[in-house]
Structure 1
């Protein structure tokens, strides 16, 4: 099972440039969370800060009772063992085969025999659909395969927290769909805590349990998927629904004249909230909420057509599990 990550009042600047300030959120144990934001808002910096590669100027990051923003190098080294990271380009060693790339963390950080390492590597490569490609070099395979190999490497130490830095970057829509399904399936199998940084709106709308939006040097909102997909907060609404009307412009934020010139009275209605992506076997993940549960609990009427099943609106009866409801 994954572990909770609690962030309190996190602030980071490089010189006079503030990246973000006073960021507070909790990544619930075992759940999938997505972090969104316009380009240049510090999403990758946030990931690097979570794992201790960058020290924040202010604030705290609590993982299993340890504040990695202030702890010793020894304690930080131990906490990092809880993490697995999928980098944007896979970050493969070009002169190593995929097998050796995936085996690298085991050879560096454990005392396992080569036979044990081989069993673990092949298990993880099976999980990501790369059996038969273990002897290939990174330069001999596609970008999507490199990402899957990077994911296999991130899994070999059985991490309880997995960070994904734009897993869909550079991929076509079909391969992005495969990566999304793979992440959902892996969360079901590992029950680890996932944080995904992405620009892909379809990923954000269908994959996570929680969504966050970094914008204008702060965290605009973080919470359950249904809360953000039904939100009328201007930046959240604009970004999640890919609209041009709103505070976000080509250079991140619009100036006052641009905003004043916009006609907000003609905003299109919020689109329906889609059903969340299920694991391939059709069984809900351990932490997967029921469709419409947040809306019902908070008295929010979702946009018309939300949670469709076989062409009709889906309503969650009280105390009814997802397994017996819509898919």
Structure 2
């Protein structure tokens, strides 16, 4: 089962440039969380800080009672074994076959026999749909296959935390849908804690249990998916619904003249909240909640049409809003 990551007061700068300040959140164990934000808001820096590749200026990152910020290098090395990381471009070794790429962490960090390594590598490659491609080189396969090979490598040490950086980068919408489905199915199977950094709004609206939004050097909001998708907070509303009216401009923030020009304009209605993507075989994930559960528990009326199958954008989902309300 995945473990919780408790982040408190995290602050990071590069020289005089502050990336973000006082970021505080808890990634719940075994759940899928997504981190969003305009370009340049430090989402990838946040991932690297969580795994200890970058040191924050202030704050703490608590995992299993250990603060990664203050750990000695040897102890940090041990905690990092809890992590699997899928880098934005897959970060595969171009001169190695996919098999050797996936086997690399096992050969570097364990004393397993080649027979055991082979069994694990073939299992993980089958898990991500790459059986039969073991002998191919990264340059011989598509971008989507490279992403899946990188994911197989991230899984070989059976991580309890999986960090995923821009999985949709360079992928067309169909391949993005496939890899999103793969994340849902993997979470159901391995029950790890997932954190996905993405720009893809459809991914953010349909995949995660929780959503966070980095904006203007701080964490604008973090919480359950339905909380953010029903939020009236201007930057959250604008970003998650891909609207032009709001504080975000072509540069990160609109200037006073742009905001004044929008003054008095009627905001478009919030779109319906879609059903969350389910597993391929229909078995529920441990972290899965009934559609509309957060809204009901918190007295929030979701936008009209929410949780209807026609708004899910996910093939094979046929649960209506009325069915969801009786769950």
Picking from 310, 313, 322, the partner of 2:321 is 313
Instruction: Decide whether the 8 Å contact of 1:55 with 1:69 is kept in 2.
Output: yes
1:32 — aligned with what?
32
- Relative distance call for 1:264 and 1:237 in structure 2 (3 A) is farther
Q: Equivalents in 1 of 2:79, 2:119: separation in Å?
A: 25
Q: 1:308 to 1:264 in 2, by over 3 A?
A: farther
CA separation of 1:264/1:75 partners in 2, compared to 1, >3 Å: closer, same or farther? farther
What's the CA shift for 1:266?
1.4
Unaligned runs of 5+ in 1: 321-327
Q: Which residue of 2 aligns with 1:100?
A: 100
User: Corresponding residue for 1:226?
Assistant: 226
Residue deviations 1:293-327 (CA, integer Å, cap 9, x gap) = 00000000000000014595336457x3xxxxxxx
Per the TM alignment, residue 24 of structure 1 is displaced from its structure 2 partner at its CA by 0.2
CA contact (8 A) 1:293 1:316 kept: no
Answer whether contact 1:274 1:308 (CA < 8 A) is retained.
yes
- Quick one: distance in 2 between partners of 1:17 and 1:258? 25
Which structure 2 residues correspond to residues 147-186 of structure 1 after superposition, within 5 A? Answer: 147-186=147-186
Q: How does 1:208-287 map to 2 (within 5 A)?
A: 208-287=208-287
Give, in whole Å, the separation in 2 of the partners of 1:165 and 1:317: 34
| TM superposition shift of 1:255 | 1.1
- Post-superposition CA distance 1:210-240 (Å, at most 9, x none): 0000000000000000000000000000000
Give the TM-score normalised by structure 1. Answer: 0.96
Report the TM-score, using the length of structure 2 for normalisation.
0.96
Deviation at 1:290, TM superposition (A): 1.1
The equivalent of 1:79 in structure 2 is 79
CA distance, structure 2, for counterparts of residue 133 and residue 235 of structure 1 = 43
Cα displacement (A) at 1:264: 4.8
CA distance in structure 1 between the partners assigned to 2:265 and 2:230 by the alignment:
18
| Unmatched segments (≥5 aa) in structure 2 | 310-317
Residue deviations 1:255-298 (CA, integer Å, cap 9, x gap): 11211110454111000000000010111101111110000000
Maintained 8 Å contact 2:33/2:208: yes
Once residues 101 and 133 of structure 1 are traced to their aligned partners in structure 2, the CA distance between those partners, rounded to angstroms, is 12
Give secondary structure in 2 for the equivalent of 1:221. strand
Determine whether 1:136 maps to 2:136.
yes
Contact 1:306 1:314 survives alignment (8 Å)? no
- Give the aligned partner of residue 202 of structure 1: 202
Please state how far the C-alpha of 1:74 moved relative to its aligned partner: 1.4
Pairwise CA RMSD of aligned residues? 1.1
| 151-160 or 68-77, larger mean C-alpha shift | 68-77
Alignment correspondent of 1:295: 295
Matched-pair contact (CA < 8 Å) for 1:292–1:315: no
The 1:137/1:312 distance shift into structure 2, 3 A limit, reads closer
When residues 312 and 4 of structure 1 are mapped into structure 2, their CA distance, relative to the original with a 3 A threshold, is closer
CA distance in 2, matches of 1:60, 1:289: 30
Task: Indicate the SS of the match to 1:81.
Answer: helix
- In structure 2, distance between residues paired with 1:111 and 1:312: 51
CA distance in 2, matches of 1:96, 1:311: 45
